[in-house]
Structure 1
Amino acid sequence: MRKTTKYLTGIGALALTAIALVAADHIDAPSSRGTTADVADFFAFEPTEGSDNTVFIVDLQSDVLPELAYGNFDEDILTEINIDLDGDLVEDQVIQTIARDGRMYFFGPAAPSTTGLSSQILTDAPLGNVEISGSAAIVETTSDGVSLFAGPRQDPFFFDFFQFNAVISPAVDSAPGGFFAPEEASDAFDGANTLSIAIEIPNSMLGTPTATNALGLNVYKTWVTTNKKQ
C-alpha cells in the first residue's frame, strides 16, 4: 500500500533534458533558501560514452560550509526526480528520496500515484538506502546494479560573487574593468559544500527515452522537485 502522507511541491524545481546538461539555481525563494528544499544543481548524464546507465545528481542547500554539521537533510523534505517518457512534460516515472535516522531512502523508478503539485511516497517500490556520508564517502550498490550516495560534496558552482556585485553596483567606477578573466577571478563558493544525492541506474529500469537532443542522441526529459510534508 502506498503511504498516504502528502507532500506539496516546494519552490526548488529545475528542468532539463538529460545527458550531459547542467543547471544551476543557487538560493531560491525565501521559503526554501538555506534548507534542503532549495535545489542548487541538477545533473543527468551517461557515466561513460555509450553506457547503458544514467547518473542523476541533485545538489541541495548551497553554501554548507565544511565546519558545519554533515548530513543535515530535512526529514520532512521529499526529493523527486521526474522522468517524462512520452514528450508531454508530465512525469511518467519518478525516483524519490527521503532521509530517515541518518540514512537516505530511495524509491522507484515507478509511475507516480499523482502528478503535478502533490506526491506520495512510493513505499511499495523500494529501491535501496544508504548511510548519509560524513567526511568519507559511502556508496551502496544494490543487487539490481543501482549505486546510491547521499552527503556533502564540494559546491561545483564557480562564481566571483564579489566582482559580480561590483559590476552591477550603481556606484561610478565600481568595476571599471568589468568581470575578471577566469584566471583572475575568485570563486566565492570555494570551500563550501552542497548536500548531494546521487544515483547511477540502468536505463532498462527507467524506460525507453523518446526525446532527441541537439547532438541527435536519444535522451530522457527529466527535472527535479522538492516536496514538503503537509
Structure 2
Amino acid sequence: MKTRKGYLMGLGALATIAAILVSADHIDAPSSAGTSADIADFYAFEPSEGSDNTVFVVDLQSNVLPDLAYGTFDEDVLTEINIDLDGDLVEDQVIQAIAKDGRMYFFGPVAPSQTGLNSSVYTEAALGDVEISGATAMVETTSDGVSLFAGPRQDPFFFDFFQFNAVISPELDSAPGGFLPPDEAADTFDGANTMSIVVEIPNSMLGTPTATNALGLSVYKTWVTTNRKQ
C-alpha cells in the first residue's frame, strides 16, 4: 500500500509539472512501432445481452511473437479510452491506464481538463490497479464493480500475410488464384500475442450513451489514444 501511495503521489507531481503527452497512431508513427504505444485493435461491447456494463479492450504492440510471448508495457506511455457523450466527437469522459513496477494503474472515468492530442494523468480519479499478467491471467475487481486486466492475450487478427503480399504483388501472375479458401489459408499471426488492457465498467459510471448503431442499439462513441511523456 505504501508503494502504491508513493507512486500516485509521484504521478501527481508528473501531472502538474511535466505531464504533457503527445499521442501516437498505429503504423502512422514509426517511433511507436513495436512498443506498447502502438495501437493494434480497440473493442467496446456489452459482456452479455442486456448487460448494464460495457467492456473496453485495447490491444497494443501487435508483434509480440511466441518467443517473446510476455512483453512489457512502456511506463512512459499513457493509454486513454475516450468517450463522447454528446455527439460532438470530443471526449467528455476518459479512462486512463499507465504501468509502473509490474502493475497497471487506472484512472477515471473523469471529465478531462484538456481534450485532443495532449493529456495529463488524473491521479485524483484513481479507479484501481491490477498486477500485469504473465502466464496466468490476473483480474482485479473493485468495490464499484469494475474489473481490470493488463497483460498478453492471443492476437485476434486472422490474416494470411504472405498470400496477401502475393495478391498485391506487381507481378500479376504471382497469385493467379487470388486469396486462398479458408481451409487452405494460413493464419500468419497464430500464436502471436498483443499486450492488452481490459476494463469492464458499469454504464452508470460513464453516463448515458447517446449514439445508435446499425442495429438500433444505444452505444457509446469511443476511441483510444496512446500518449508518450515528453
Please report the TM-score for the alignment, with normalisation by the length of structure 1: 0.91
How far, CA to CA, are the matches of 2:167 and 2:194 in structure 1? Answer: 26
Pairwise CA distance, 1:34: 0.6
Counterpart for residue 215 of structure 2: 215
Counterpart for residue 117 of structure 1: 117
CA RMSD of aligned residues (A): 1.4
Check whether the contact 1:132–1:138 (CA below 8 A) recurs between aligned residues.
yes
Partner SS, residue 124 of structure 1: helix
Check whether the contact 2:59–2:196 (CA below 8 A) recurs between aligned residues.
yes
How far, CA to CA, are the matches of 2:125 and 2:43 in structure 1? Answer: 23
Deviation sequence 1:102-129 (CA, Å, 0-9, x none) = 0000000000111011000000000000
Identify the structure with the greater helix proportion: 2
Counterpart amino acid of residue 142 in structure 1: T
How far, CA to CA, are the matches of 1:94 and 1:104 in structure 2? Answer: 16
Counterpart for residue 94 of structure 1: 94
How far, CA to CA, are the matches of 2:169 and 2:71 in structure 1? Answer: 37
Check whether the contact 2:24–2:32 (CA below 8 A) recurs between aligned residues.
yes
Judged with a 3 Å threshold, the aligned counterparts in structure 2 of structure 1 residues 149 and 188 are, in CA distance, closer, same or farther, namely same
Unmatched segments (≥5 aa) in structure 1: 13-24
Pairwise CA distance, 1:169: 0.8
Aligned 1:86-165 pairs, distance under 5 A: 86-165=86-165
Are 1:55 and 2:55 counterparts?
yes
Pairwise CA distance, 1:192: 0.5
Q: Which runs of 4+ in 1 moved over 6 A?
A: none
Check whether the contact 1:59–1:196 (CA below 8 A) recurs between aligned residues.
yes
How far, CA to CA, are the matches of 1:28 and 1:119 in structure 2? Answer: 20
Check whether the contact 1:73–1:195 (CA below 8 A) recurs between aligned residues.
yes
Q: How many correspondences in the alignment?
A: 217
Counterpart amino acid of residue 142 in structure 2: T
Q: Give aligned-pair identity as a percent.
A: 79
Counterpart amino acid of residue 201 in structure 2: I
Counterpart for residue 66 of structure 1: 66
Unmatched segments (≥5 aa) in structure 2: 1-8
Check whether the contact 1:38–1:60 (CA below 8 A) recurs between aligned residues.
yes
Please report the TM-score for the alignment, with normalisation by the length of structure 2: 0.91
Counterpart amino acid of residue 146 in structure 1: V
